[in-house]
Amino acid sequence: MAGSGEALALHVLLCCLCGGVANIKCSGRVWIEPAPVVRMGSDVSINCLSTLGCPWAKFLVLLNYSLAEGPLRPLNSSTVRLQLRDFRMPFGTVACFARCSDGERHQLVCGTHVLAGYPPDPPGNLTCTIREHSGCLACTWDAGRPTHLSTRYALHLRSVGTAVAEDAEEEEEEEEIFPAGLPVPLSALRGGTRYSAWVQASNVLGAARSPPRRLDLQELVVPALPLVAGAETTETSPPTTTIRWKRQTLLENVRCEERHKAAGAPTWHVRCRLSPADSPWSAWSTPFLYTTPEAAPAAAPDVWRRLGPAFSNGSREVTVLIKPLPPRDARGKILGYTVSAESPRGATLLCNTSSTACSVLVPPGARALQITAHNSRGASSPASITLGRGAGGQEDFPAPEAVEVKPENRSGISVAWQPPRRSGRSPLWFIVEWVSTAQYGQKEQYFWKKVPRQETHTDVQGKILRESFRCLVWFIRTVYSPNMLERQGFV
Ligand SMILES: *[C@@H]1O[C@H](CO)[C@@H](O)[C@H](O)[C@H]1NC(C)=O
Ligand SMILES: *[C@@H]1O[C@H](CO)[C@@H](O)[C@H](O)[C@H]1NC(C)=O
Ligand SMILES: *[C@@H]1O[C@H](CO)[C@@H](O)[C@H](O)[C@H]1NC(C)=O
Ligand SMILES: *[C@@H]1O[C@H](CO)[C@@H](O)[C@H](O)[C@H]1NC(C)=O
Ligand SMILES: *[C@@H]1O[C@H](CO)[C@@H](O)[C@H](O)[C@H]1NC(C)=O
Ligand SMILES: *[C@@H]1O[C@H](CO)[C@@H](O)[C@H](O)[C@H]1NC(C)=O
């Protein structure tokens, strides 16, 4: 076995070998059977014949710089063989060394390479297009499984031209071959506009060709990208939005398609193709952002309340809390919110504010509060907050059960619960409230969140001091009936 200093020398030597440096002196021959390139998973043997001139020398075979595993079987006094089963190294460097019985060091016999790979799959999905104004035919295909070997692809085009040409005997002569992957200048195609095309793949282990495909050069043209010029929306009901775009193509007989996305990422696109059904589409035009004109908010905001003190004259302080509407529902700039009290005597406006919180004094006898959001075009439908009968009287709805609060990770807490089993009717939603308690003279901070009724857990993120917070899960059955709330709280 080679010592470490020697291993380093071998490494340098091998690097020269794999780099293809020519002036290395071999004292013998190394060859691979059955061949230096084999199918992945084949059995191969590495043979090493020494011409050092000493019989029964000690041999050493390195495969990719490490000592190859397995016994070296002597074939005769100057040759050994190493057999490797199921060889799967796409590229391996082989080097053989020998040491005469009276020698101090191993000497290089010679080196070579062994490669394992696959013959090419038949190329699939051959697609050819001509971008308008490019003057070139460009084709793509799926090569299939990687071969791990140097594999050549060639595009074959055979003119199938006119009926006259099909009668011609020299059809074979009209086949033209191009290195596949590079665009083919249309000037190089002299066989008319109609071709049969296929891709031929080949490497040392084999060859395969794609199924042929008929091409009509006139139908392969991808029209130049259209440019979106603008959009406008009518004031009719329902409103109609019209998009305008600029054709950049000089082609006749072009069809275009438009698509758009609303909310979040509202983008407008157009693409075009020639009329024949198989013609390729252009890419989509670059996205265009358009905002429809302002309209009254489409939905009521999410609302909740904190109850303040009740007074002996029957009125009570309530802080109404409002979540801003998402852009999709706001349909414009929200200018403010109104809070009014519903009572048998009619509605009373209690608050008209641009803030998302409003403290109001609810007059005696008020059953519910109604909250709307407005922009310059109008107001949303109202969201309702029911007020229990009497001062604190809202507590006879069953509470959510089995409430569990767990630290989720550094910045969050997970809250889980079960809907009440005793409740006959299904809930509308859940409200989760949490309060970060006062610290270092800071004010107590209050948070809330509406959870859809299908869900029974939620994650609470953000400014939470985990050591000190209270969490309440409210269970809401209906917005319109009183006595609907029950809470479960813990500290
Ligand atoms: C030993 O075997 C190898 C491979 O079969 C052959 O090329 C070589 O001539 C043989 N050498 C002797 C001395 O028989
Ligand atoms: C063997 O060495 C070659 C060249 O350094 C490298 O590309 C190849 O990935 C190696 N193979 C394995 C199986 O380590
Ligand atoms: C051909 O291309 C299409 C779309 O790119 C792909 O869905 C399909 O799997 C491909 N077929 C083959 C045989 O590669
Ligand atoms: C009820 O009492 C509160 C507190 O004293 C007072 O602010 C409020 O104006 C009174 N409301 C009515 C309707 O009398
Ligand atoms: C609320 O105030 C805005 C402007 O401050 C006003 O346009 C709107 O009419 C008011 N709403 C009600 C219900 O009074
Ligand atoms: C904490 O957990 C929440 C939800 O489980 C997740 O969205 C968030 O990315 C997590 N944060 C960290 C810092 O891991």
Q: Are 409 and 323 within one domain?
A: no
Q: Are 80 and 144 within one domain?
A: no
Q: Are 372 and 406 within one domain?
A: no
Spans of the chain, pLDDT less than 50: 1-9, 12, 15-16, 18-21, 163, 165-171, 390-395, 465-471, 475-491
Q: Are 270 and 207 within one domain?
A: no
According to the model, what pLDDT value does residue 402 have? Answer: 78
Q: Are 264 and 322 within one domain?
A: no
- Residue 294 within any structural domain of the chain: no
Contact between 266 and 291 under an 8 Å Cβ cutoff? The reply is yes
Q: Are 443 and 455 within one domain?
A: yes
Q: Is 124 in the pocket of ligand 3 (CB under 6 A)?
A: yes
Closest approach atom of ligand 4 to CA 363:
13
Q: Are 332 and 366 within one domain?
A: yes
- Residue 413 within any structural domain of the chain: yes
At position 12, the amino acid (one-letter code) is V
- Residue 438 within any structural domain of the chain: yes
Q: Are 246 and 151 within one domain?
A: no
- Residue 372 within any structural domain of the chain: yes
Could you tell me whether strands 136-142 and 152-159 are parallel, antiparallel, or unpaired per DSSP bridges?
A: unpaired
Alpha-carbon span 192 to 165, nearest angstrom: 10
- Residue 297 within any structural domain of the chain: no
- Residue 486 within any structural domain of the chain: yes
Of 386, 421, 440, which residue sits at a domain end? 386
According to the model, what pLDDT value does residue 478 have? Answer: 31
Cα end-to-end distance, the chain, whole Å: 72
According to the model, what pLDDT value does residue 81 have? Answer: 97
> If you take atom 6 of ligand 3, which residue's CA is the nearest one?
125
- Residue 31 within any structural domain of the chain: yes
Contact between 380 and 297 under an 8 Å Cβ cutoff? The reply is yes
The domain of 265 spans 223-274
Of 98, 117, 136, which residue sits at a domain end? 117
Q: Are 259 and 194 within one domain?
A: no
CATH label of the domain that carries residue 313: 2.60.40.10
According to the model, what pLDDT value does residue 286 have? Answer: 83
Closest approach atom of ligand 2 to CA 89:
13
According to the model, what pLDDT value does residue 124 have? Answer: 95
Q: Is 170 exposed, middle or buried (0-12, 13-18, 19+ CB in 10 A)?
A: exposed
Q: Is 313 in the pocket of ligand 4 (CB under 6 A)?
A: yes
According to the model, what pLDDT value does residue 439 have? Answer: 60
According to the model, what pLDDT value does residue 480 have? Answer: 28
Q: Is 78 exposed, middle or buried (0-12, 13-18, 19+ CB in 10 A)?
A: buried
- Residue 295 within any structural domain of the chain: no
Mutate to test the pocket of ligand 5, among 352, 354, 355, 375 (most ligand atoms within 8 A of CB): 352
Alpha-carbon span 29 to 49, nearest angstrom: 5
Of 77, 99, 117, which residue sits at a domain end? 117
Residue 78 CA to ligand 1 center (angstroms) comes to 7
Instruction: Match 């939603």 to its residue by tokens.
Output: 429
Collapsed DSSP state (helix, strand, coil) of residue 172:
helix
According to the model, what pLDDT value does residue 43 have? Answer: 96
Residue 145 CA to ligand 3 center (angstroms) comes to 13
Domains contained in the chain, number: 5
According to the model, what pLDDT value does residue 121 have? Answer: 97
> If you take atom 12 of ligand 2, which residue's CA is the nearest one?
89
At position 257, the amino acid (one-letter code) is E
According to the model, what pLDDT value does residue 13 have? Answer: 52
